[in-house]
Chains A and B, each alone.
Chain A
Amino acid sequence: MEPRRSTGLTATKLHILDRPLSRGKNEVHVLALMRHTHTQSVSLSAFSFLFSEMVQYFQGRVQNISDLENRLDDAGFGVGVRVGELLCHREKSGRRETRLISILQFIVSTCWKALFGKAADALERSTENEDEYMIHELEPLTNKFISVPPDLGQLDCAAYIAGIIRGVLTSSGFTANVTAHTVEVGTPGQRDKTVFLIKFDERVMRRERVLT
């Protein structure tokens, strides 16, 4: 006798919004237990193959590097909007962050942990501009297997992650511009780290001052 499958007829007849939201990694599925598997992860290879194929597809359709980064950023934006909504329901019982610092912390801890299995390496506020914040990441997932050929110089595939950050921020009401920058670490043998520069919209800053 085959065990009953998780995706049976009854489940598929319901619209996605009528089905319960999966609880991510914490979900202990009876079937998953029986088979000693966790249904919620895939191999890093599968992700990397897919991501690299996506980058190459975009590359074939753009004129220059900044266009390519923009397309990666746009792809990430859609993901960010969904991730923000998903984690807000799952981890915050539907409560949305309204303050600048809390939303940033939500991103570097909650979102980062959910997406990459770890918190971001650092969150910093710019010393020069009050509307600028920086997220430091030593090993962005997207850059793991990407070696940038010299003729593409400035390309940073972390633009995809920058798009995700922008998506989470924008859908929570924090309009911002997010860019990914490669920064040399200096220590030989160590890979360059990536800094995500977040520049908030002026309206966001004004609202923040009112709330304080």
Chain B
Amino acid sequence: MATPRPHQRVGDVAWTKMTKVNGELFALTYGAMVTQLIRDFEDLKAVNQQLDNMGYNIGIRLIDEFLAKSGVSNCQDFKETAEVIAKIAFKMFLGVNAEVAHWNAENNACSLLIYENPLTEFVELPPSAYGVLWYSNVLCGVLRGALEMVQMRVEARFVKDVLQGDEVSEIRLELKGMIEEAMGDEYKED
């Protein structure tokens, strides 16, 4: 398949314009945070939840920067949204590409495959965390928060993780519906 991939080019251009920092400092900082969460919550499921919450907070702010700097405007459909996330957003912020795969028949669910996850540098999960801790779960929250700000309600969750011995990290992204822009009651005329 040798079709031109304009999204990828847009992503590369956006990436060159970003100020960069050492990815290892980023990875170690994230690691310090996850370690602290595990110490505080003691329950790995609660850690997943907390990481998702933190990601959500990041996502709702990150979308502004993304729209301002990437030059991307409205997406036609969810299919394009997924491509934009994988080829532009991942590239712009994390310097890596993700791949979109495994569409369902209705075209409202797909998977993001992440081959080089900068968060997982230097990480080795203990076997006791296998199947429970989704180490990079913050990414799911970011996706959920950012898409909510563009009126898309999605569910994002990890289904595979390189750290747990899978071949690739995979985030399942499902479109649950569009958020209708509605006026609050207080603004309505009688």
Show the binding face of A for B, using Cβ within 8 Å: 5-9, 12-13, 15-17, 22, 24-25, 35-47, 49-51, 53-54, 56-57, 61, 71, 74-76, 78-79, 82-83, 86, 114-117, 141
- Write the nearest CB–CB distance from A168 to chain B, whole angstroms: 12
- Write the nearest CB–CB distance from A51 to chain B, whole angstroms: 6
In the bound complex, do residue A6 and residue B115 qualify as a contact, i.e. CB atoms below 8 Å apart? Answer: yes
The answer to whether B25 has its CB under 8 Å from any CB of chain A is yes
Q: B118 contacts which of A5, A12, A42 (Cβ < 8 Å)?
A: A42
Q: A9-B167, A46-B26, A115-B24 are in contact. List 14 more A-B contacts (CB 8 A).
A: A12-B162, A39-B23, A39-B95, A40-B22, A41-B22, A42-B26, A43-B19, A45-B93, A49-B62, A50-B26, A50-B33, A51-B29, A54-B32, A79-B28
The answer to whether B49 has its CB under 8 Å from any CB of chain A is no
In the bound complex, do residue A6 and residue B116 qualify as a contact, i.e. CB atoms below 8 Å apart? Answer: yes
User: How many angstroms between the C-alpha atoms of A45 and B124 in the bound complex?
Assistant: 26
- Write the nearest CB–CB distance from B7 to chain A, whole angstroms: 14
- Please, could you name 19 A-B residue pairs with CB atoms under 8 Å apart, sorted by A? A12-B167, A13-B165, A17-B124, A39-B116, A40-B23, A40-B24, A42-B26, A46-B26, A50-B30, A50-B138, A53-B33, A54-B32, A56-B57, A74-B36, A75-B36, A78-B28, A82-B28, A83-B28, A116-B22
For chain B, residues 101 to 154, give those with C-beta under 8 angstroms from any C-beta of chain A: 115-116, 118, 121-124, 138
Q: B54 contacts which of A12, A13, A53, A75 (Cβ < 8 Å)?
A: A53
Number of interface residues of B (CB under 8 A): 47
In the bound complex, do residue B28 and residue A53 qualify as a contact, i.e. CB atoms below 8 Å apart? Answer: no
- Write the nearest CB–CB distance from A26 to chain B, whole angstroms: 13
Closest A residue to B141 by beta carbon equals A53
- Write the nearest CB–CB distance from B143 to chain A, whole angstroms: 14
Interface of A is mostly: helix
- Write the nearest CB–CB distance from A146 to chain B, whole angstroms: 14
List chain A residues, Cβ under 8 A from B167: 8-9, 12
Closest B residue to A24 by beta carbon equals B24
List chain B residues, Cβ under 8 A from A36: 12
- Write the nearest CB–CB distance from B93 to chain A, whole angstroms: 4
- The residue among B58, B97, B165 with the most chain A CB atoms within 10 A of its own CB is B58
The answer to whether B96 has its CB under 8 Å from any CB of chain A is yes
List chain B residues, Cβ under 8 A from A86: 24, 122
